[in-house]
A and B are shown apart, each in its own frame.
Chain A
Amino acid sequence: MIAALSAEIERASRDIEQARGLPNACYTAPELLAHEREQVFGKGWAGVGFAKDVPNAGDAKPLTFLGVPMLMVRDWDNQLRVYQNTCRHRGMILVEEATQLKGVIRCPYHSWCYGLDGALKGTPHIGGPGHNSHDAVDPAQTGLVEFRATVWMGVVFVNLSGDAPAFEHYCGDLHARWSDFDQPLYHAGRDSSFALDVECNWKLAVENYCESYHLPWIHPALNSYSRLEDHYNILSEGHYSGQGTLVYRPSLSESGQRFSDFKDLPEKWDAGAEYITLYPNVLFAVHRDHTYAIVLEPIDESHTREHIEIFYASEAAIGPDFAELRATNTQMWKSIFEEDIGVVEGMQRGRAGPRFDGGVFSPVMDNATHCFHQWVARTYTSDAQPSQ
C-alpha cells in the first residue's frame, strides 16, 4: 500500500511551500496503521504508559499498546522494566490487572514462574508430576521477552524493535532544551489524571497539538491571555515539533494561591511555556509550576485514546492544601483538550472526501505540522531508524 501511495507521500516531504499533507489513506486505512506499528512506532521510542503507575518495587501493571500485550514492572532494585505479557510456555497472558507482587510472576495456566528480572524460575511438573526440569527446556534461554524501556518526564517509552538509537539521541536536543525541568516530578493521583477518547487518527491529535494557528477560534478563552502573536514555532527535524508561548498566565485561584515553581528556573519561564510532540506519540508541556504528558494510544485507524497526566514541581503541590487548585488546573486543561475534539474529529471525517489532496500548508503557521508530516513520510518509506 505504501508503494501505491509513494507519490503522495513524497509530496509531503517537499518544502512547505510545495508540500501537501499526508494522503487520506494515512488516516483511514487499517493497513497503514499496521505499517505504522512496525515502522513508525516499532522502530523508534513510543510512549506506552506512565512510571507513576508502578511506584514501588513489586508493582506490576499490564497494558496493551497497538495490540501488543505488555507488562510494566518495578523490580526489586527499583528499576522499571517492560516485558511482553506472555508466558514463554503456551503464550498465556501472565498478569490481567494491576497488582503488587510479593515474589515471582506466576502464569495462571501451568504456573511457570518468572522473577521480576524476567528469569524463568520455576517450571512445575515439566518433566512429569513432581519432576521440575527437563533437558529440552533451558531456563536461561526461556526468560520473559523484555522490551527496551526508559522513563523520561514521567512517561514510559518502549522500543519494540530493540535496535532504535539510544533514547537520548532519539530525542535530539530536547533533553538540553528542557534541562531546566530535569527535576523530580510529583503526581497527585486521580485528580491529576484523565483520559479522552476521540474519533480520529492519532496523527491528527499530534498535528492539532503542534500548532497555535487554531487558538483564536478553538480556544478563545486561552487566547484572551495568551494571544496568537505571543506564540512561536518549535521545530527539530526528525525528532519533535510544537509551539511555545511567551505569555502563560492563567488565573487559577481568586485567593492568589499558586503552586510552587520548579527550582532555579531561568527568567524566561516566568511567563513562558512550551508544548511539544516528541515523535511519534507523546505530547508534552512544561510550565514554571507543572508539566503534563499525553500518551496517544491508537485504538484503530480512526480512534485514539489520550491518556493525560499532570505533574507538579513540589511535594507540597500534591498535598491536601492544594487539592482545590489541582482540581481547577485539571479542569482547565481538560476543557481546553475537549475544545479540540470537534476539530480533530472533523478533520478525520473530512478525510473521507476523495478529492481532498492532503491540504496546503501556511508556510508561516503550519511549520510544526509540516515538520511532523515530513518525519512520518520519511519513516514510512525508510529502512533506516527514524530520527538517526
Chain B
Amino acid sequence: MANESELSLMLAQSLSDGDDDAVASVYGEIAALQHTHGDLDGACFFWTQSLVYAMVAGNTALEQTLRETLGAHGRI
C-alpha cells in the first residue's frame, strides 16, 4: 500500500489527468489508510470523495461498494 505522500502525488496526477476512475481509486486508498489508523471520520470523508468520482466515472461496481461501506457506518 502506498504511503500518504505517495497517495497525495497520485491524487494530484489523477486530478490533473481528469481520470475520474483513478481519482476514485486513490481516494479509496486514502480512506483505507485512514481506516487502518482507526480514523473512521477521516475514512468516511475520503470514501465520500471516492464515491463522487466513482459516480462521475460511471463505475457502478465501485459506487455500490462505497454506498454499502458508507451505509454500514450510517453515513449515507
Chain A interface residues toward B at CB < 8 A: 101-104, 106, 111, 113, 121-122, 124-125, 129-133
Contact = CB atoms under 8 A, between A and B. Distances in A.
Contacts of B42: 130
24 contacts: A102-B58, A103-B20, A103-B54, A103-B55, A103-B63, A104-B55, A104-B56, A111-B52, A113-B52, A121-B55, A122-B55, A124-B48, A124-B49, A124-B51, A124-B52, A125-B45, A125-B48, A129-B41, A130-B44, A130-B47, A130-B70, A131-B75, A132-B48, A132-B76
B59 interface: yes
Closest 10 pairs between A and B when the two form their complex, measured CB to CB: A130-B44, A103-B58, A102-B58, A130-B45, A104-B55, A132-B76, A124-B48, A129-B45, A111-B52, A103-B55
Nearest to B42: A130
Contacts of A101: 58
Contacts of B7: none
A122 B52 contact: yes
Contacts of B41: 129-130
A133 B75 CA distance: 7
Interface in B39-76: 41-45, 47-49, 51-52, 54-60, 63, 70, 75-76
A132 B70 contact: yes
Interface of B: 20, 41-45, 47-49, 51-52, 54-60, 63, 70, 75-76
A101 B41 CA distance: 31
Q: Which secondary structure dominates chain A's binding surface? A: loop
Given A130-B47, A131-B75, A113 B70 contact: no
Contacts of B59: 103
A180 to B, nearest CB: 41
A124 B43 CA distance: 14
Which one of B41, B42, B75 has the greatest number of beta carbons of chain A within 10 Å? B75
A111 B55 CA distance: 11
B74 to A, nearest CB: 8
Given A124-B49, A125-B48, A129-B45, A113 B55 contact: yes
Given A103-B59, A121-B55, 5 more contacts: A102-B58, A103-B54, A113-B55, A130-B45, A130-B75
A261 to B, nearest CB: 41
A106 B56 contact: yes
Contact of B56 (A102, A125, A130): A102
A106 B45 contact: no
Nearest to B43: A130
A124 B48 CA distance: 6
A303 B3 CA distance: 59
Contact of B75 (A103, A106, A132): A132
Contacts of A103: 20, 54-60, 63
Nearest to A133: B76
A130 B59 CA distance: 20
A106 B63 CA distance: 14
A138 to B, nearest CB: 14
